């Protein structure tokens, strides 16, 4: 948002439309620009196309019409600078925690084994998982699995992070804890984030902007800026202005749901 009109936005979506083979249009002419370092939360009723939008951004699914550019690149090419975090942690069960975190770097084949090991061991320390580095995923709790998944996504130092309801399956305490962790990691890396969630509180806590989508067809109904400065801490959750904004976003979400 701070971009001057002459520099192109970091990420831009122009008339992004997605129609399935069945003929149903899930996203209709979505228009959005995102500045570097933004943390964008996408909320909206189930089936409005939030996951689909992330799939389009990542190039995992092709657009029907419109244009997406990410740091000047088309989605396919921008994968180099992007990581995707899925709702289930999608860890490889036959690899240890360390082995999972190494995956992205290993597939890129730009680093030696020793470099990867060292880098990922450091990263595990950063997310507090150093002592389970040699464990297998089945030995971890849901929250720990998700932290491994986040560490794996960050290992390649992405400029853009796509997260699809990463904490949806976790209990509230774990979720709050991981929210704070995400903010902490963001202070280090300054990645630009698209974050899909059903939790208004989580969206307000994390975001710089909240995008409220409506369904059938999926469109942006409202954009709500979140003005609280960073670094944010857990104490924000009891601040009156935070609670007021949660109330406002909840009302917007209810209004959108009523449309459908």
Partner 1 sequence: MKKLLRSAGWPLGVLLAVLALWQGACVAFKIPGYILPAPPAVWAAVIERHESLINAFRITALEAAGGYAMSIMVGVIIAFFFAQSPVIRRSFFPYTILLQTVPIVAVAPLILMWFGSGLRSVMLVAFIICLFPIIANTTQGLITVPKNLVDLFTMSNASRAQVLLKLRFPHAVPNLFVGLRISAGISVIGAITGEFFASSNAVGQGGLGYSITYANSQLQTDYLFALVLTASALGFLFFFIVIFFEWLFLHQWHEAAMKPEAE
Ligand X SMILES: Nc1ncnc2c1ncn2[C@@H]1O[C@H](COP(=O)(O)OP(=O)(O)OP(=O)(O)O)[C@@H](O)[C@H]1O
> Could you give the 3-state DSSP secondary structure of residue 222?
strand
Beta carbon of residue 85, minimum distance to ligand X (angstroms, whole number): 14
Which of partner 1, ligand X, Mg ion, none lies near 20, with the C-beta cut-off 5 to 8 A by kind? ligand X
Nearer to Mg ion by C-beta: 44 or 143? 44
| Binder of Mg ion out of 51, 61, 64, 111 (CB under 5 A) | 51
Q: Which two tokens mark 241?
A: 């202005």
d(CA 202, CA 246): 9
Place of tokens 């209990």: 171
| Pairing label, strands 219-225, 209-214 | antiparallel
| Binder of ligand X out of 48, 132, 160, 206 (CB under 6 A) | 48
Nearer to partner 1 by C-beta: 151 or 252? 151
Beta carbon of residue 64, minimum distance to Mg ion (angstroms, whole number): 19
Is residue 86 close enough to count as binding partner 1 by CB under 8 A? yes
Residues 40-79 that bind partner 1 (CB under 8 A): 58, 60, 79
Is residue 61 close enough to count as binding Mg ion by CB under 5 A? no
| Binder of ligand X out of 34, 38, 52, 100 (CB under 6 A) | 52
Beta carbon of residue 30, minimum distance to partner 1 (angstroms, whole number): 21
CA dist list (Å): 114 to 111, 121, 206:
8, 11, 35
| Binder of partner 1 out of 5, 23, 46, 94 (CB under 8 A) | 94
Is residue 197 close enough to count as binding ligand X by CB under 6 A? no
Which of ligand X, partner 1, Mg ion, none lies near 4, with the C-beta cut-off 5 to 8 A by kind? none
Beta carbon of residue 20, minimum distance to ligand X (angstroms, whole number): 4
d(CA 44, CA 218): 9
| Binder of ligand X out of 13, 38, 39, 50 (CB under 6 A) | 50
CA dist list (Å): 213 to 42, 88, 89, 252:
7, 23, 25, 10
The number of helix segments (H) and strand segments (E) in the chain equals 8, 9
d(CA 137, CA 121): 16
- Burial (CB < 10 A; 0-12, 13-18, 19+), residue 223, is exposed
Q: Say if residues 191 and 168 touch (Cβ distance below 8 Å).
A: no
> Which strands form 160-164's sheet, in the order they lie side by side?
82-85, 160-164, 192-196, 39-43, 209-214, 219-225
**Of 10-18, 89-97, 112-120, 184-192, which segment contacts partner 1 by CB under 8 A?**
89-97
The residues of the shown chain that bind partner 1, judged by CB under 8 A, are 58, 60, 79-80, 82-84, 86, 88, 90, 92-95, 103-104, 106-108, 136-138, 156
The residues of the shown chain that bind ligand X, judged by CB under 6 A, are 20, 26, 46-52
The residues of the shown chain that bind Mg ion, judged by CB under 5 A, are 51
């Amino acid at each position: 948002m701070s971009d001057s009109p002459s520099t192109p936005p970091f990420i831009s979506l122009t008339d992004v439309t997605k129609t399935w083979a069945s003929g149903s249009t899930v996203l209709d002419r979505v228009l959005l620009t995102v500045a570097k370092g933004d943390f964008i939360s996408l909320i909206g009723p189930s089936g409005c196309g939030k996951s689909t939008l992330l799939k389009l951004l990542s190039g995992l699914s092709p657009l029907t019409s419109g244009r997406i550019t990410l740091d000047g690149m088309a989605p396919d090419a921008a994968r180099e600078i992007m990581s995707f975090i899925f709702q289930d942690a999608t860890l490889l069960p036959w690899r240890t925690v360390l082995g999972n975190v190494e995956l992205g770097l290993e597939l890129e084949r730009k680093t030696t084994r020793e470099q990867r090991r060292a880098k990922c061991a450091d990263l595990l320390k950063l997310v507090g998982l150093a002592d389970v580095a040699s464990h297998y995923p089945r030995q971890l709790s849901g929250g720990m699995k998700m932290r491994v998944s986040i560490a794996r996504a960050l290992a390649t130092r992405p400029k853009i992070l796509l997260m699809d309801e990463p904490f949806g399956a976790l209990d509230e305490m774990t979720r709050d804890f991981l929210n704070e962790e995400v903010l902490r990691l963001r202070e280090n890396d300054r990645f630009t984030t698209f974050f899909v969630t059903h939790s208004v509180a989580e969206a307000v806590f994390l975001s710089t902007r909240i995008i409220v989508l409506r369904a059938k067809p999926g469109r942006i109904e409202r954009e709500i800026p979140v003005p609280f400065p960073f670094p944010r801490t857990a104490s924000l959750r009891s601040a009156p202005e935070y609670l007021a904004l949660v109330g406002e976003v909840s009302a917007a979400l209810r209004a959108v749901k009523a449309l459908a």
